[in-house]
Amino acid sequence: MTQVTPFAATGPAAATPKLLDPPVRLALAMWGLAVAFYLFGFFHRVTPAVLTTELMLDFQLSAAMLGNLSAFYFYFYAAMQLPTGVLVDRFGPRRVLWIGAMIGGVGALLFAFADTFASAALGRGLIGATVAVAWVSMLKLCAHWFDARRLGMVTGVSLAVGTMGAVMAGLPLRALSDALGWRPVIGASGIVALLIAAGIFFLMRDDPVQRGFRSQIPAGAAFHAPSLRTILSGLGRIWAYRNVPLLFWVPSGICGAFLTFTGLWGVPFLVQQHGLTPRSASLVTSGMLIAFSVGSIAFGILSDRIRLRKLPYVIGGSFTLISYGVLYIFPDGRLSVLVPLLLLGAAGSGSMAVGFLYSRESAPLALSGTVAGAVNMGVMVGPLFQQPLIGWILDKNWSGALLDGVRVYDLHAYKLAFGLLLLWVASSCVALLATRETHCRQYREP
């Protein structure tokens, strides 16, 4: 039986200087397949925010139970991050991505046709576990297909395009659900994921050398597939590099609070406390998602141009801290003031795109997938705990009010819930200040 190399090709051709750089259109095609699956994942990340009423009615949920149902995505997503880094470093992004997309599609179909809380939670869990591979795999893929000087911009654009999936889970999902019902729409997204899996299987390649072009990874690092033993050893080693544990925690607040607000509790807050319709509230959270996308691109470009990682991240984190500070102090403030500040905080949250490059440069290149998985797990730690905790706070402070069979929470309850977000963001900013700048240079062992 012929043995297939799990990651990329090996041999003299890997370092042949006569090979040409891959055409931009080919690199974009590889990236496009990965980002399509990432978009699918972001779509499902925030769908409960728009479907709160339907989910609470269909499955008879309290706020805490709704928070847990939404968080099942994040429970499984976070649990898969370190294994994902190991798998991507060992087997390459293509294999991990197509299997993930296939199982993610099945999870979406299960969620769409669930008739119990348990089956709905399992569907959300399958989606979260499998789309967990999308971001880390895409980062690894981009490092092989794109010039290192453009990785900040490419990372920002990737995050922005993926976030468009969340925008689609805003007003478009609301309109389609009103017209067709939420179950057919979610089911259709599962079919799309299966098509993406087929595209990745037949068209994607891990490295340009497999298409006869030069790899963008430095010579000597492009095609070495580390042993499983080496990777598992590295899994423990990554925490010894100063920046890695800090950059693990930073996005849990700076990005986690954004995901918690836009992904679940923002719409009910705006509807119940500011009198907006569900569609209008979805428009606000969709605007925040767009601001997040713009911020991810802007901070990525800024980081590449000034050749710094920490400063852009600190600026973005400051915007987020200000936003949630105002939301906590003045939750009943005028929307003409509150909405622009929410948009500012969302744009600041987009700076988390820089964090992946920052962490990648803070440890040996051979551990890049594992480090990215660790940091991406940090992103998910925020909403994983924040969404159910906020539900618990709201339920503990519920006055007993109901509207059409759905619980209504007062301003005091929301203020306490947003205090949790503010403290979390503040702790992330402190951790960020403690990191050490890399100046866009890859870490090398002394």
Q: Are 131 and 368 in contact (CB under 8 A)?
A: no
CATH superfamily of 22-205+230-433: MFS general substrate transporter like domains (1.20.1250.20)
Q: Are 442 and 430 in contact (CB under 8 A)?
A: no
Judged by average pLDDT, the poorest of 21-30, 53-62, 313-322, 373-382 is: 373-382
Per-residue pLDDT reduced to its tens digit, 73-127: 988 988 887 677 778 877 889 999 999 999 999 999 999 999 999 999 999 999 9
**Rounded mean pLDDT of 8-16?**
45
Tell which wins on pLDDT, 26 or 376: 26
What mean pLDDT, rounded, does the chain reach? 87
Residues in the chain: 446
Tokens of 361: 């440069």
Q: How many CB atoms lie within 10 A of CB 229?
A: 8
403: helix, strand or coil: strand
Q: Are 254 and 350 in contact (CB under 8 A)?
A: no
Examine the pLDDT at 226 and tell me if it is beyond 70.
no
Query: What does the pLDDT read at residue 322?
Result: 97
Partners of residue 403 on adjacent β-strands? 406
Query: What does the pLDDT read at residue 9?
Result: 45
**pTM of structure:** 0.73
Per-residue pLDDT reduced to its tens digit, 324-361: 999 999 999 999 999 999 999 999 999 998 998 899 89
Tokens of 422: 């503010």
Q: What are phi and psi of 178, to 5 degrees?
A: -65, -35
Domain boundaries, the chain: 22-205+230-433
Integer Cα distance of 312 and 358 in angstroms: 11
Examine the pLDDT at 4 and tell me if it is beyond 70.
no
406: helix, strand or coil: strand
Integer Cα distance of 253 and 255 in angstroms: 6
Q: What are phi and psi of 406, to 5 degrees?
A: -110, 135
Alpha helices in 146-181 (DSSP H): 151-168, 171-180
Q: Give the H or E element holding residue 407.
A: strand 406-407
Q: What percent of the chain has pLDDT over 70?
A: 91
Per-residue pLDDT reduced to its tens digit, 190-206: 999 999 999 999 999 99
Alpha helices in 51-170 (DSSP H): 52-59, 63-91, 93-112, 117-145, 151-168
Q: How many CB atoms lie within 10 A of CB 300?
A: 28
